[in-house]
Structure 1
Amino acid sequence: MEFKDLEIFQLVAHKGTITEAAKELNYVQSNITSRIRKLEVEMNTPLFNRHRRGMSLTPEGKKLLAYSKKILLLTEEMKNAVQTNNEPSGKLEIGTIESVIHLPTILSSYIKKYKNVDLSVFTGVTKNLVEEVLHHKLDGAFITESDLHPDLVSHEVLQEELVLISDTRVSTLEELKEESILCFNKGCGYRARLAQWYKDQNITPKKIMEFGTLETILRSVVMGLGIAFVPKSEVKQLEKDGLIQFHKLPEQYSKIKTVFIRRADTYLTPTIEKFIETIEINKQKNYFYE
């Protein structure tokens, strides 16, 4: 069995047709077909159901797909582990919660120094980002600190204060309890902190409205649509301009850390190692602490 056969098998499983897989690989269809048949002979079982609309995995094919992903991932780690070139290069896929205000500083420092790295950044809520890292879909992610999965390690990035914000009409915490909560989807660390405060106060929120971006949340607060629990560093200027006002919650809810997570069992390539080093260098320069 060749690694290339497994790569082709994965692509056909993903595309659902020999034609689409051949187009992406720039192979003739007969080559793809023969490689799949060769693999089925070696496995001594059909891996695909053939039908008019294309191909779908058999139960045995689904099992092989899971194993092939692990095999190819280990193969890539093996190559990285024995490479002699210590210069960061290749793809680096990082996830982040949307409100890491100092993220551009980290990215700029890294990209300017390591020009051979193809860096991609994806946004999401903490819970989803953790899952992406655990399933090897991301090399690492910036999340709000929480109970860490045993397969992950974390590197502290920054610590800051969360504040409850409202438009200028609302003046007391008692009044805030009647307002709609504007927040990200479930799995957001900030939302979880605010939910705990409501629970501890024996209050049930009147209404929860979910948004996809921090910018939309902030604009909606300014317009009087509701309240939000966000990093103080993100909204200082809005407060200074008189568009919103701050409401402080006790430290157990408001003090929060952002950490960078990665899998503990993956090989620490120069590319990710230097990324972590960039975080540490910027942190030591006190860029991230108010």
Structure 2
Amino acid sequence: MEFKDLEIFQAVAEHGTITGAAKELNYVQSNLTARIHKLETELNTPLFNRHRRGMSLTPEGKKLLTYSQQILSLTAEMKQAVQNQTEPSGKLEIGTVETVIHLPKILSSYIKNYQNVDLSVYTGVTETLQREVLHHKLDGAFVTESDFHPDLVTHQVFQEELVLISDSAANSLEELKEKPFLCFSKGCGYRARLETWYEDQNITPKRVMEFGTLETILQSVTMGLGVTFVPKSAVTHMEQNGLIKCHSLPQKYSTIKTVFIRRADTYLTTTIAKFIETIESNK
């Protein structure tokens, strides 16, 4: 079994088709098909279910994917560990929740100082990002502080206040209790905080509406569609322009910390070490 076989297997598993994997890897489709068959023969088990819509993993394929991700992650880590220890280089894949107000400053500072790093940033909710860091899909992520998996280590980034926001016509916190709750999907730390407040107040929102982006949520709030719970720093300009009203909740619900997480057992490469240094210097 070669590392390339595992890379091909992983690409097919992620895309669900030979066509998609071939396009990503710049391979001829017949070559990928042959390598998958070779791997299945070598392991003496089918790794994929073939159907009209493409390919899906068998239970054995799912097991192999877990090991494949670990092996390829360790391989990449090994290469970085034996290369230049003073100048960061290579790929760095970072995740973040959408409301990290200091993120542009951190990224700009890092990229200016370390131009040999190929930096990619992905957005998501805290629960999803934690899972992707644990599964070696991301090198680290900016998330809302919570009870993390023991295999993760955290670095403090900053603390801020969450506020309940409504359109500018709202007059009191009491009337907002009847408004629809606009939020990200389950796993969002801000959503969890407001849900706790609702529960403690014995309130059941008449409607919960999930959105994919912060921009859409904020625009919907300004139009009176509902309320949401976000860092005050992310909406100060909207409040100053009279587009929304901010409503404070008790500190128990509103004080929140953003942290950077990474796996505790992975080698701390120069690339990620310098990224953490950049976070520290831009607090």
TM-score category of the 2 structures, normalised to the smaller one: 0.7 to 0.9
Contact 1:18 1:33 in 2 (8 A): no
SS in structure 2 at match of 1:165: strand
Query: What's the CA shift for 1:4?
Result: 3.4
Contact 1:141 1:260 in 2 (8 A): yes
1:74 aligns with 2:71: no
**5 Å matches for 1:200-215?**
200-215=200-215
In structure 2, what is the Cα distance between the partners aligned to 1:238 and 1:49?
A: 50
In structure 2, what is the Cα distance between the partners aligned to 1:109 and 1:118?
A: 14
Moved more, 274-283 or 74-83: 74-83
Query: What's the CA shift for 1:212?
Result: 1.5
Tell me what 1:90 maps to.
90
Structure 1 unmatched ranges of 5 or more: 284-290
Moved more, 179-188 or 10-19: 10-19
Note the alpha carbon deviations across 1:32-54, whole angstroms, 9 max, x for none: 737953x56654x2556797978
Q: For the structure 1 residues 247 and 34, does the alpha-carbon distance in structure 2 shift closer, same or farther, using more than 3 Å as the test?
A: closer
Superposition TM-score, scaled by structure 1 size? 0.85
SS in structure 2 at match of 1:155: strand
Q: Amino acid of the residue matched to residue 231 of structure 2? A: P
1:33 aligns with 2:34: yes
Note the alpha carbon deviations across 1:74-104, whole angstroms, 9 max, x for none: 2222222232443111111111111111110
Moved more, 154-163 or 212-221: 212-221
Tell me what 1:142 maps to.
142
Tell me what 1:252 maps to.
252
In structure 1, what is the Cα distance between the partners aligned to 2:253 and 2:42?
A: 58
Q: Amino acid of the residue matched to residue 247 of structure 1? A: H
Q: Amino acid of the residue matched to residue 97 of structure 2? A: I
Query: What's the CA shift for 1:7?
Result: 3.3
Tell me what 2:111 maps to.
111
In structure 2, what is the Cα distance between the partners aligned to 1:181 and 1:49?
A: 41
In structure 1, what is the Cα distance between the partners aligned to 2:4 and 2:115?
A: 29
**5 Å matches for 1:1-290?**
1-11=1-11, 16-17=17-18, 21=22, 24-26=25-27, 29=30, 33=34, 37=38, 43=43, 45-47=44-46, 63-283=63-283
In structure 2, what is the Cα distance between the partners aligned to 1:257 and 1:23?
A: 37
In structure 2, what is the Cα distance between the partners aligned to 1:184 and 1:165?
A: 15
Note the alpha carbon deviations across 1:12-33, whole angstroms, 9 max, x for none: 6666549964994546956973
Identity, in percent, stands at 68
SS in structure 2 at match of 1:92: strand
Q: Amino acid of the residue matched to residue 125 of structure 2? A: V
Contact 1:178 1:205 in 2 (8 A): yes
Q: Amino acid of the residue matched to residue 228 of structure 2? A: A
Higher gyration radius (CA):
1
In structure 2, what is the Cα distance between the partners aligned to 1:245 and 1:50?
A: 53
Query: What's the CA shift for 1:109?
Result: 0.3
Query: What's the CA shift for 1:250?
Result: 0.3
In structure 1, what is the Cα distance between the partners aligned to 2:13 and 2:185?
A: 31
In structure 2, what is the Cα distance between the partners aligned to 1:254 and 1:246?
A: 12
Query: What's the CA shift for 1:70?
Result: 2.5
Tell me what 1:286 maps to.
none
Aligned length: 281
Tell me what 1:287 maps to.
none
Moved more, 58-67 or 96-105: 58-67
Contact 1:18 1:29 in 2 (8 A): no
In structure 2, what is the Cα distance between the partners aligned to 1:242 and 1:22?
A: 49
SS in structure 2 at match of 1:72: helix
Q: Amino acid of the residue matched to residue 102 of structure 1? A: H
Query: What's the CA shift for 1:124?
Result: 0.8
RMSD between superposed Cα atoms in Å: 2.9
Runs (4+) off by over 6 Å: 49-58
Contact 2:181 2:226 in 1 (8 A): yes
In structure 2, what is the Cα distance between the partners aligned to 1:250 and 1:87?
A: 46
